[in-house]
Structure 1
Amino acid sequence: MRLIVTTFVGIVFGFLIGLSLTKKLNLPSSLVPSLDLSYIEDKNTGRSTQTLLNVWSSIRRNATSSSQAQSSNHTSKIWAPSNPRGAERLPPGIVEAESDLYLRRLWGKPSEDLTSKPKYLVTFTVSYDQKKNIDAAVKKFSENFTILLFHYDGRTTEWDEFEWSKRAIHVSARKQTKWWYAKRFLHPDIVAPYDYIFIWDEDLGVEHFNAEAMTKRRGDREVHKETEEKPGWCSDPRVPPCAAFVEIMAPVFSRNAWRCVWHMIQNDLVHGWGLDFALRKCVDPAHDKIGVVDSQWIIHQGVPSLGNQGESHNGKTPWQGVRERCRKEWTMFQSRLTSAENAYYKSIGYVN
């Protein structure tokens, strides 16, 4: 009996010494060897093997909880304010702040997915009725362009009759405009890999257009930055529509310019009317940074296909309702922009 008690006390004492060393060395409890106490049993005192195992399990749980608490405390100490908002608790090395629209495989090594990385992005907001026009336009763009189609009529699978469509990206939402799509799917951090972003309508004639030539830097002789308009249209020859202006049916944005323009697009103003007059807010000097590439001219065919996606209301045809909404949005956008500028200047103590 004395031998058994002495043996038990020795085992417990040894375990406590081991546990103390484990805490000091910060070793995981899994490295502490499990004890087989099945051979110890004191029938006279009622201390069975199960009792000893219960004690052992309790000690192990406490050790595990302590280890987890230490691990949790260590993780909570990460705070990287340079990370994007909401990701401050992550180690900076794991943060991926930007993405892309490159299509990847479902197999193999990720590093071998991409044989090339397109430098430019072109988007068209389309209906299937304009398939011939879009087919002609897309064929003007090389493999150096990612093709993204926004489908406002809900028809996507039919486009597979074109081989290029199988490599394109298709996004579908019925009765939406290209600026609705752009605000929601072309966040600057998503399109960051692209040098230029083309955001085009579906009714453009591109017979005289060369996409690769469009992306090259050129001298002033190939770009006109000022023009003459009707008398009284321009209060200043360096402001829209005489300068710093391109219409919104076929704009091309640099990466940096798009980051600014995206933030200016209003969530609820889906037609984008008035946006072309405000693009100059995103570059300086605007009359020198915004222009029309004369050698790459296109034709706006003026097909009112999106306008017909409206609904008859109060005796007005669908396209009349859409056009009325466009004009209202233009007024609302101008009012918001003016109010925002006035509020900013007032906040810094500037009085005009």
Structure 2
Amino acid sequence: MKMEDYKRRGSSVRRKSNECMRGIVTVIVSLVIGFFIGVSFPAFSPPKLKLVPSIDTYLGDQDSGRSTQTILNVISVARDNVSTKAHKLDDPSEIFVTTNPRGAERLPPAIIASESDFYPRRLYGRPSEDLTFKPKYLVTFTVGYNQKDNIDKAVKKFSGNFTILLFHYDGLTTEWDEFEWSKQAIHISVPKQTKWWYAKRFLHPDIVAPYDYIFIWDEDLGVENFDAEEYIKLVKKHKLEISQPGLDPNSKGLTWQMTRRREDLEVHIETEEKPGWCTDPHLPPCAAFVEIMAPVFSRDAWRCVWYLIQNDLVHGWGLDFALRKCIEPAYERIGVVDAQWIVHQGVPSLGNQGREENGKPAWEGVRERCKKEWKMFQDRVSRAEREYFKSIGVRSSDHEANWVTDDRIQ
């Protein structure tokens, strides 16, 4: 190739390079000029472009290059998609606050009441003077009238610092007015439902937010050696987020070593179980474990547990093995309070609310569903965890750990 050809080719390359450089400089200058135009004359910004309207308009008017315009259009469309529900943001007379709770975007933030409580209100006088005292804790019992004497004894173990809430599975409510405390209690009646059915529907975290601790208890608990205020003191002292009183060794159906009361301790958070029951000493049932008959939750713990409760699995079997997922580290913050203990009487009152089928008594049908729900809950948790870890490209075997099968339950 001749020298003249090299020179011509080199000259052509330089010209193209210079043209590209001029194009880049032009775009940069256009962006800068467009920015200052947008700042100086905001009224000229087209309403549909939310990101940097003046730049987009300027580049469009000057036909400054399709690729640059396309990029800005994509950014603008993305911003518009985020603000789809706020289509009138350009109208200052319209309220739309995207940080408000879902469904309340059209309300001014200062008027939003996102939490509630169980405090009764008067029908007269000033609202600010309704409540002379606000209980700090909540205790719920799921009850039938046949257990009224037992519940009367239990309620009297809770001071005025507790709101009393009764869930009635037998439909009887006014009958309880023979007890003076019942006239100040909250009564919710839906026949033949379990406490976890009630909890999912009536104990939303935003409803029980005023309470530091929430007790969700069965009706067949002996409380002769229990004092609620002393219990709260120990829970706070040992920083337990989820807890239960120790079970007297004479309790009926005592299955787990973890929940058995120890006479020489205030609180314990771990135990030794039968061989093969604990693959990890930090996992249930050797640690991070309480039973569902008499659990106590801190406000923060309950906010997580409420979401863990399945809407259709009403007996709650298996839930106690998954509570640890709401606390970190669970093996330090879930424990049993030995210094305040109870007796599980094992009265099968709710079990008798089932229906006889195929020659089987009502309680057998209830028991069968309990076991089915345990398996269903375990499968749901395991599947959900597998799907989550798969979605983020992480392999985890934690979802397979320490699910004690229901056939070990008495």
TM-score bucket (shorter structure): 0.7 to 0.9
Amino acid paired to 1:255: R
Equivalent position of 1:244 in the other structure: 288
1:264-322, CA deviations, whole angstroms, 9 ceiling, x for partnerless residues? Answer: 00010000000000000000010001000111111110000000000001121100000
Say yes or no: does 1:310 pair with 2:354. Answer: yes
1:100-123, CA deviations, whole angstroms, 9 ceiling, x for partnerless residues? Answer: 110111110000000100000000
Say yes or no: does 1:291 pair with 2:335. Answer: yes
Shift of 1:74: 4.5
CA distance in 2, matches of 1:298, 1:243: 20
Say yes or no: does 1:332 pair with 2:365. Answer: no
CA distance in 1, matches of 2:305, 2:103: 24
CA distance in 1, matches of 2:343, 2:207: 30
Equivalent position to 1:107, from 124, 130, 139: 124
Equivalent position to 1:86, from 98, 103, 123: 103
CA distance in 1, matches of 2:310, 2:365: 20
Equivalent position to 2:237, from 205, 209, 218: 218
CA distance in 2, matches of 1:89, 1:149: 36
TM-score between the two structures when normalised by the length of structure 1: 0.78
CA distance in 2, matches of 1:305, 1:287: 33
Task: Indicate the RMSD between aligned Cα atoms, in angstroms.
Answer: 1.5
CA distance in 2, matches of 1:101, 1:351: 44
Amino acid paired to 1:334: Q
Equivalent position of 1:172 in the other structure: 189
CA distance in 1, matches of 2:300, 2:93: 36
CA distance in 1, matches of 2:199, 2:170: 17
Shift of 1:238: 1.0
How many residues align structurally?
281
User: Map of 1:28-67 to 2, 5 A cutoff?
Assistant: none
CA distance in 2, matches of 1:218, 1:184: 31
Equivalent position of 1:36 in the other structure: none
Aligned to 1:320, the other structure's residue is in SS state helix
Amino acid paired to 2:219: E
CA distance in 1, matches of 2:138, 2:305: 16
Shift of 1:81: 1.7
Equivalent position to 1:203, from 220, 243, 247: 220
Say yes or no: does 1:141 pair with 2:158. Answer: yes
Change (3 A) 1:219 1:196: closer
CA distance in 1, matches of 2:308, 2:368: 22
CA distance in 2, matches of 1:75, 1:320: 63
Amino acid paired to 2:176: W
Judge which range, 225-234 or 277-286, deviates more. Answer: 225-234
CA distance in 1, matches of 2:267, 2:96: 48
Change (3 A) 1:231 1:104: same
Shift of 1:351: 2.7
CA distance in 2, matches of 1:171, 1:113: 22
Shift of 1:218: 2.2
Shift of 1:129: 0.0
Aligned to 2:341, the other structure's residue is in SS state coil
Aligned to 1:296, the other structure's residue is in SS state strand
CA distance in 2, matches of 1:112, 1:207: 37
1:71-129, CA deviations, whole angstroms, 9 ceiling, x for partnerless residues? Answer: xx5542x2212211110111000000111110111110000000100000000000000
CA distance in 2, matches of 1:284, 1:136: 35
Equivalent position of 1:262 in the other structure: 306
Aligned to 2:147, the other structure's residue is in SS state helix
Aligned to 2:339, the other structure's residue is in SS state coil
Shift of 1:228: 1.4
Equivalent position to 1:253, from 274, 285, 297: 297
Equivalent position of 1:343 in the other structure: 387
Equivalent position of 2:244 in the other structure: none
Tell me, which stretches of 5 or more residues in structure 1 are unaligned? 1-72
CA distance in 2, matches of 1:158, 1:112: 31
CA distance in 1, matches of 2:166, 2:395: 46
CA distance in 2, matches of 1:149, 1:231: 40
Change (3 A) 1:330 1:75: farther
Equivalent position of 1:27 in the other structure: none
1:222-280, CA deviations, whole angstroms, 9 ceiling, x for partnerless residues? Answer: 21000111111111111101100000000000000000000000010000000000000
CA distance in 1, matches of 2:215, 2:183: 20
Amino acid paired to 2:311: N
Say yes or no: does 1:127 pair with 2:137. Answer: no
Tell me, which stretches of 5 or more residues in structure 2 are unaligned? 1-90, 240-264, 397-410
Equivalent position of 2:10 in the other structure: none
